[in-house]
Amino acid sequence: MPVPTAGHTTESLTTWLAERIALYLKRRPTEIDPDVPLAEYGLDSVAALSLCGDIEDDFDLVIEPTAAWDYPTVHALADHLVAELAAQDGGA
Amino acid sequence: MLIGTEPRGAVEDGPRATGQEARAAARVAELERRLGDPTDEHNELSYARLLAADEAGELSAAGERALDELGLGADFVPRALGGRLERLDTLVRVMRQVFRRDVALGLGYGVTSFMAAVNVWTSGDDPQRERLARILTGGGKVSVAYHELAHGNDFVRNEFEARPADGGGFRLHGAKQVINNAERADAWVLFSRTSPAPGSRSHSVLLVERAGLDPDSWRVLPRYDAVGVRGCHLSGLRFDGTPVPGSALVGERGKGVETALRAFQITRSALPGMAVGTTDTALRTVVRFALGRQLYRRSVMEIPHARDTLSGAFTDLLTCDILSLAATRAVHLLPEQTSVFAAATKYLVPKVLTEAMHELSVVLGARFYIRDGEHGIFQKHLRDLPVLSLGHAGSAACQATIIPQLSRLARRSWFSDEPAPAELFQPRTGLPGLPYDRLTLASGRDALCATLVAAVDRLPDASPEERAVQGLVLQLVDELRQVQEASRALAPEDRTALAGPAVFALADRYAVLLAAAAATGVWQQAARDGGDAFLADPAWLAAVLHRLARRLGRRPADLPPSVAARLHEEVLRRFRERTSYDLYDTPLAG
Ligand SMILES: Cc1cc2nc3c(=O)[nH]c(=O)nc-3n(C[C@H](O)[C@H](O)[C@H](O)COP(=O)(O)OP(=O)(O)OC[C@H]3O[C@@H](n4cnc5c(N)ncnc54)[C@H](O)[C@@H]3O)c2cc1C
């Protein structure tokens, strides 16, 4: 899966997250409704921690391991990541 | 917030370390003395009496009285709150004396309360800590009520509700099942849903005291009969709108899953090693039998297969104690890394202990099937032991905690991390206090495997035993390399609980490597220190690594014959001198 490099938008992150989560759950990305809580799809709490690890590695961004608990849908998480990435770029 | 009196960060040595060790050894000796020789039939806590209580489905009353007199509840309470808890490895050592005699008593008197209390030490406020400390030091009990039959290990879907009510309190609705001591505890730690939303922010932990509750709105559910730990009081609780005050909330609302996962790191590190005492008794029972029974004009002990089985069980006990030691001391020294160590310990230790019991049962022969008499305790321990695997996260659920972390460990830690500090592997060295606030949910670091990797260049090769160790370490490091490659290659769908069976096998291999790494670390420190002649000898390490390598499906070269001879001699010595089959060689009452 291509990792977006720069110019992240809510859309690009939404696509990336839906693809990644679909892989975790053995579903098609189109099946992941960005406004349905990930737990509804069976993404358990420990796997949600692992998702945050993947995000850290692929985007080189430090986030709370529990970010996917606090922002429990694809949309919510994408918005959160855009804000974090902007803060990081601005702060660096 | 930090609980405990010791300064955090630096590891102490010198006189204060001696203080911790002296206190630990004295407490263990005090328990041994009070509980007495279990093979003496005049002792009210003899195996025969404990078996009779089990047959009657009761916890031994004499046992509970003895533990009351010993004030065992205080061993679960931090020193700063008036208790004796300062080190997790010490708690394991103390509880082992109870688990030697009766798993049901260990669980039913104590461990349940400890599991409940850890939630409050980890996330509670000062008044809650003080209340709980008062209950436990006063001899009271606390239940830990997580489990609901409908959801098992999938506790994020639990339904038991604490509905926020007017005035900041809650109303309890629903049921908890298979809860130890539910009907006699003074308080319960209730894992409760505080929001209907799905996910990991919808539960909270409540500490609810029985006194003062509206008696018409709750009841205790009927008791369950189990195959083992038959004396334990397993029942359930049902609430129908029972009001509780807002001060019952432990930690923040919605942070229950986080509180639980933190507390689990402590309890899953500590519990399994307590049962080393249980398998120790099983080994001791079979040694006694093997020395006394004459067949083919010799004792069973002279039959090579029997002798080998006994030495193998001793080797397994050392392995289990070592992984338990590393995991419990890691909570103090490497709190950021304990999430995988705790899961690996909870997965592997009960499994190895249970397998050792089954191998021992072959030597005991038909006697292992007899419920009473001299060997009756064996079948009781064999029935009781699986509860360590079943309760508090099953084996597969522990593997499922490791699996999502494998790819990260492979990319970031293995072959690049710093080795663990020497103190991690020194059973008698002092430790800083328990840093509850530094436990993290997922780490991506592993200083234990780094210790194994670093050992490659440092191991001596003067004697045949040392050369055997060196060859084994090389094979195990090669195995780590393979686990790393496989973990790196894991597809995303193999990084959750839905992973394929081969990934569960990968988690198993990793747990075995952690045990091998810890054993290597323990030997290196013991050899440097030299104070314990047996632990300083590389023979036991060769035996441990050889067994672990075979467990991994490797076919290591045969060990020099001196290794088997050394272990056999030690099995006999510890039987005759009545000392424990673990790292501590503790004097026993019987
Ligand atoms: C003697 C005894 C005392 C107990 N005391 C207490 C107590 O005091 N308080 C309390 O709260 N509970 C208590 N329990 C309940 C105990 O905590 C649960 O039984 C335990 O957590 C596991 O539930 P389960 O066996 O129903 O497993 P389930 O969750 O139903 O699992 C069934 C099987 O599904 C698979 N599985 C489950 N989860 C996963 C996963 N994440 N990944 C992969 N596979 C998985 C495994 O093969 C597992 O064995 C006690 C149980 C016993 C036996």
Task: Decide if A42 and B197 are in contact by the 8 Å CB cutoff.
Answer: no
Q: How far apart are CA A22 and CA A17, in angstroms?
A: 8
User: Are both B382 and B234 inside the same structural domain?
Assistant: no
What's the mean per-residue pLDDT of chain B?
A: 94
Burial class, B298, CB count within 10 angstroms (exposed 0-12 / middle 13-18 / buried 19+): exposed
Q: In sequence order, which residues have a C-beta less than 8 Å from that of residue B492 and are 6 or more positions away?
A: A20, A23, A24, A54
Residue B149: pLDDT above 50? yes
- The answer to the question of residue A15 being in a domain is yes
User: Are both B467 and B562 inside the same structural domain?
Assistant: yes
pLDDT digits (tens, 9 = 90+) for B475-485: 999 999 999 99
Residue B90's pLDDT is what?
98
Q: How far apart are CA B199 and CA B186, in angstroms?
A: 31
Burial class, A3, CB count within 10 angstroms (exposed 0-12 / middle 13-18 / buried 19+): exposed
Q: Is B234's C-beta closer than 6 angstroms to any atom of ligand 1? A: yes
Q: Is the CB of residue B493 less than 8 Å away from at least one CB of chain A? A: yes
Q: Is B229's C-beta closer than 6 angstroms to any atom of ligand 1? A: yes
Task: Decide if A50 and B405 are in contact by the 8 Å CB cutoff.
Answer: yes
pLDDT digits (tens, 9 = 90+) for B545-581: 999 999 999 999 999 999 999 999 999 999 999 999 9
Residue B8: pLDDT above 50? no
Residue B1's pLDDT is what?
34
Question: At A6, is the pLDDT very low, low, confident or very high (cuts 50, 70, 90)?
Answer: low
pLDDT digits (tens, 9 = 90+) for B372-407: 788 899 999 999 999 888 777 789 999 999 999 999
Residue B43's pLDDT is what?
97
Question: At A91, is the pLDDT very low, low, confident or very high (cuts 50, 70, 90)?
Answer: low
Atom nearest to B180 CA in ligand 1: 8
Q: In sequence order, which residues have a C-beta less than 8 Å from that of residue B222 and are 6 or more positions away?
A: B235, B236
Rounded to 5 degrees, φ, ψ at B587 are: -65, 135
Of the given ranges (A15-19, B89-93, B438-442), which has the lowest mean pLDDT?
A: B438-442
Q: Find the helix packing angle between B464-488 and B447-455, rounded to 10°.
A: 130
The total number of structural domains that make up chain B: 3
What's the mean per-residue pLDDT of chain A?
A: 86
The total number of structural domains that make up chain A: 1
pLDDT digits (tens, 9 = 90+) for B413-467: 999 999 999 999 999 999 999 999 899 888 789 999 999 999 999 999 999 999 9
- The answer to the question of residue A38 being in a domain is yes
The sign of the dihedral angle between the CA atoms of B459, B460, B461, B467 is negative
Q: In sequence order, which residues have a C-beta less than 8 Å from that of residue B268 and are 6 or more positions away?
A: B342, B343, B345, B346, B392, B393, B398
Residue B366's pLDDT is what?
80
Domain termination residue (choose one: B188, B223, B253): B253
CB B478 within 8 A of CB B404: no
Q: Is B181's C-beta closer than 6 angstroms to any atom of ligand 1? A: no
CATH number at residue A26: 1.10.1200.10
For chain B, what percent of residues have pLDDT higher than 90? Answer: 87
What is the span of the domain harbouring residue B94? Answer: 19-140
Residue B158: pLDDT above 90? yes
User: Are both B132 and B161 inside the same structural domain?
Assistant: no
Rounded to 5 degrees, φ, ψ at B205 are: -100, 130
Measured distance between the N- and C-terminal CA atoms of chain A, rounded to whole angstroms: 27
- The answer to the question of residue A31 being in a domain is yes
- The answer to the question of residue B438 being in a domain is no
- The answer to the question of residue A1 being in a domain is no
Of the given ranges (B151-165, B331-345, B389-403, B517-531), which has the lowest mean pLDDT?
A: B389-403
CB B232 within 8 A of CB B183: no
pLDDT digits (tens, 9 = 90+) for B169-213: 999 999 999 999 999 999 999 999 999 999 999 999 999 999 999
Question: At B369, is the pLDDT very low, low, confident or very high (cuts 50, 70, 90)?
Answer: confident
Question: Smallest Cα–Cα separation from B510: which of B462, B476, B559, B545?
Answer: B476
Q: How far apart are CA A67 and CA B243, in angstroms?
A: 33
Please tell me the distance in Å from B507's CA to the nearest CA on chain A.
15
Contacts with B446 from chain A: Cβ below 8 Å: none
CB B94 within 8 A of CB B31: yes
Q: How far apart are CA B503 and CA B496, in angstroms?
A: 10
* More confident: A45 or B270: B270
User: Mean pLDDT over residues B65-85, rounded?
Assistant: 97
User: Are both B248 and B317 inside the same structural domain?
Assistant: no
Contacts with A72 from chain B: Cβ below 8 Å: 197-201
With b for 16 or more beta-carbon neighbours within 10 A and e for fewer, the B528-549 pattern comes to eeeeeebbebbbbbbbbbbbbb
Q: How far apart are CA B549 and CA A28, in angstroms?
A: 41
Q: How far apart are CA B67 and CA A14, in angstroms?
A: 58
Domain termination residue (choose one: B118, B140, B162): B140
pLDDT digits (tens, 9 = 90+) for B203-223: 999 999 999 999 999 999 999
Atom nearest to B401 CA in ligand 1: 41
User: Are both B219 and B70 inside the same structural domain?
Assistant: no
Q: Is B507's C-beta closer than 6 angstroms to any atom of ligand 1? A: no
- The answer to the question of residue A4 being in a domain is no
Measured distance between the N- and C-terminal CA atoms of chain B, rounded to whole angstroms: 42
Residue A54: pLDDT above 90? no
